[in-house]
């Protein structure tokens, strides 16, 4: 009887140990599975975020490659280049902001959709190599294509009075100051360019 009892206790201990090992194995498998799933999700999110950052920083972007005095008053001519991939950007979705501050603290700004003068002199947008605004029947470009370069004109003035010369070549020359041009596009970084006259207000003089 005693021998049988000892044998039963030993078998029970072995069975209990086996059950503990079995349960521990299941718990370990669950932990490993959860960890792998979590790492996979994190890697996927990081990959997507990296791809989005690259797309925003390199594809949906504008670079101002040149700027010149366009007339003897307040008009300026710019050349810009779009990123080499991605989808076309509508001209009406591109916003510009032109600002300047005089030494006495007077701040002026003007903002509108690219190609919209908002009451000032006409401003134009056309692709480099195509017919410009001096061509009969000229119309502004409606869509900017990836990798393409475009000319556009801007004139000085303010929101309150677009006919002024504020922040244009004449104003910059008279006040001895620089201006700031900001370009905003959808789903992409904004572009900032400082405008500084290199040879006064002479037509064709560089302003960057």
**pLDDT at position 171:** 94
Question: 26-35, 69-78, 136-145, 180-189 — which is least confidently predicted?
Answer: 26-35
pLDDT score, position 6 = 47
Q: Which of 12, 29, 59 is the last residue of a domain?
A: 59
- Average pLDDT of span 96-111: 95
Range of the domain at 72: 62-195
Question: Which CATH number fits the domain that encloses residue 129?
Answer: 2.60.40
Q: Which residue has the higher pLDDT, 146 or 24?
A: 146
Q: Do both 168 and 91 map to the same domain? A: yes
Are the C-beta atoms of 197 and 169 separated by less than 8 Å?
Answer: yes
- Decide if 112 contacts 96 (C-beta within 8 A): yes
State whether 122 and 158 are in the same domain. yes
In this structure, what are the phi and psi dihedrals at residue 77, rounded to the nearest 5 degrees?
-115, 130
114-156 per-position pLDDT tens digit: 888 777 778 899 999 999 998 998 999 999 999 999 999 998 8
**Structure confidence at residue 10 (pLDDT):** 57
Q: Please indicate, yes or no, if residue 205 is contained in any of the structural domains.
A: no
Whether residue 76 sits in one domain with residue 165 = yes
Does 22 have pLDDT greater than 50?
yes
What pLDDT was estimated at residue 74? 82
Q: Which of 11, 27, 59 lies at the terminal end of a domain, its last residue? A: 59
Does the residue 203 lie in any domain?
A: no
Instruction: Note whether residue 134 is domain-resident.
Output: yes
Residue 54, pLDDT > 60, answer no
Number of compact structural domains in the chain: 2
| Same structural domain, 106 and 39 | no
Residues 75, 118 within the same domain: yes
Does some domain include residue 207?
no
The verdict on residue 52 lying in a domain is yes
Specify the higher pLDDT residue, 49 or 55.
49
Whether residue 163 sits in one domain with residue 76: yes
* pLDDT for 9: 54
Are 152 and 125 in contact, with CB atoms under 8 Å apart? yes
Is 146 domain-assigned?
yes
Residue 91 shares a structural domain with residue 147: yes
**pTM score over 0.85:** no
Tokens 């037509």 map to which residue? 203
The pLDDT of residue 123 is 85
Higher pLDDT, 135 or 26: 135
Q: Does any domain span residue 204?
A: no
């Amino acid at each position: 009887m005693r021998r049988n009892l000892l044998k039963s206790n030993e078998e029970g201990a072995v069975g209990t140990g086996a059950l503990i090992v079995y349960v521990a194995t299941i718990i370990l498998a669950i932990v490993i599975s959860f960890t792998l799933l979590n790492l996979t999700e994190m890697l996927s999110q990081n990959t997507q975020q990296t791809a989005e950052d690259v797309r925003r920083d390199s594809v949906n972007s504008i670079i101002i490659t040149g700027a010149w005095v366009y007339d003897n008053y307040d008009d300026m001519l710019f050349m810009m280049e779009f990123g080499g991939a991605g989808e076309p950007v509508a001209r009406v979705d591109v916003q510009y902001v032109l600002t300047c501050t005089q030494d006495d603290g007077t701040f002026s700004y003007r903002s509108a959709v690219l190609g919209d003068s908002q009451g000032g002199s006409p401003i134009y947008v056309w692709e480099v190599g195509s017919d410009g605004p001096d061509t009969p029947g000229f119309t502004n470009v409606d869509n900017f294509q990836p990798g393409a370069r475009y000319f556009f004109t801007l004139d000085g003035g303010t929101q309150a009075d677009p006919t002024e010369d504020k922040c244009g070549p004449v104003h910059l020359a008279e006040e001895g100051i620089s201006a700031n041009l900001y370009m905003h596009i959808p789903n992409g970084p904004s572009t900032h360019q400082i405008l500084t006259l290199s040879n006064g207000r002479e037509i064709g003089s560089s302003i960057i």
